[in-house]
Amino acid sequence: MENLIEEFRIFIKKKGLKYTPEREEILREILEVEDHFDVESLYLRLKNKNSKISKASIYRTLPILIEAGFIQEVYKQGGHSFYEVTLNKAPHLHFICISCGRVDEVIDKELNFLIKKHEKDKKYKLLTYHLEIFGICPDCREVK
Ligand SMILES: [Zn+2]
Ligand SMILES: [Zn+2]
């Protein structure tokens, strides 16, 4: 964790931005989130810990974290974005229910293998990817 904080501090300074305790607090919290999160849920997590972080400072910090490669935007739902920590996480698919909003993650080795093959063919250096698959979940379909 401390290495990542240090990495972030260096990134911020390189960008000529100010390194603030708020930004560090937001990053520390994000690194503890296991699941996907949006601004609202992050704000509530911090608030529950008696943090004084405002939604505005979360909105300002997220783009910096994306640029630094710590998090990525994974899907939009109800008009706002959800994010996840990209570090130490295998690329995966998201099955998204258009009826209730449930999201299931799938890690598929064969698909990862295929994408690696395309990476080679295209001579790209792959950083990460995410795929969104929209449908109706078993609960909404009432399939047991
Ligand atoms: Zn559903
Ligand atoms: Zn995910």
Q: What pLDDT was estimated at residue 89?
A: 73
CB-based neighbours (< 5 A) of ligand 2, an ion: 84, 105
Ligand 2 centroid – CA 18 distance (Å):
30
Above 80 in pLDDT, residue 90?
A: no
Q: Find the ligand nearest to 92 CA.
A: 2
Supply the range of the domain harboring residue 122.
90-144
Clarify whether residues 65 and 116 are in a common domain.
no
Clarify whether residues 115 and 66 are in a common domain.
no
Give the pLDDT confidence of 28-59 residue by residue, as tens digits. 999 999 889 999 999 999 999 999 999 999 99
Clarify whether residues 80 and 106 are in a common domain.
no
Ligand 2 centroid – CA 16 distance (Å):
31
Clarify whether residues 61 and 124 are in a common domain.
no
Clarify whether residues 11 and 38 are in a common domain.
yes
Clarify whether residues 58 and 21 are in a common domain.
yes
Ligand 1 centroid – CA 133 distance (Å):
13
- Kind of pairing, strands 103-106 and 71-77? unpaired
Clarify whether residues 65 and 9 are in a common domain.
yes
Clarify whether residues 13 and 74 are in a common domain.
yes
Clarify whether residues 111 and 59 are in a common domain.
no
Clarify whether residues 124 and 72 are in a common domain.
no
3-class secondary structure per residue, 57-69: HHHHHHHHHHHCC
Residue reference for tokens 């972030």: 8
Q: Find the ligand nearest to 91 CA.
A: 2
Ligand 2 centroid – CA 91 distance (Å):
8
Q: Find the ligand nearest to 100 CA.
A: 1
Predicted TM-score (pTM) of this structure: 0.77
Give the pLDDT confidence of 100-135 residue by residue, as tens digits. 989 998 988 898 899 989 999 999 987 777 788 999
Clarify whether residues 60 and 81 are in a common domain.
yes
Query: In terms of Cα–Cα distance, which of 82, 124, 125, 89 is closest to 107?
Result: 89
Number of structural domains found in the chain: 2
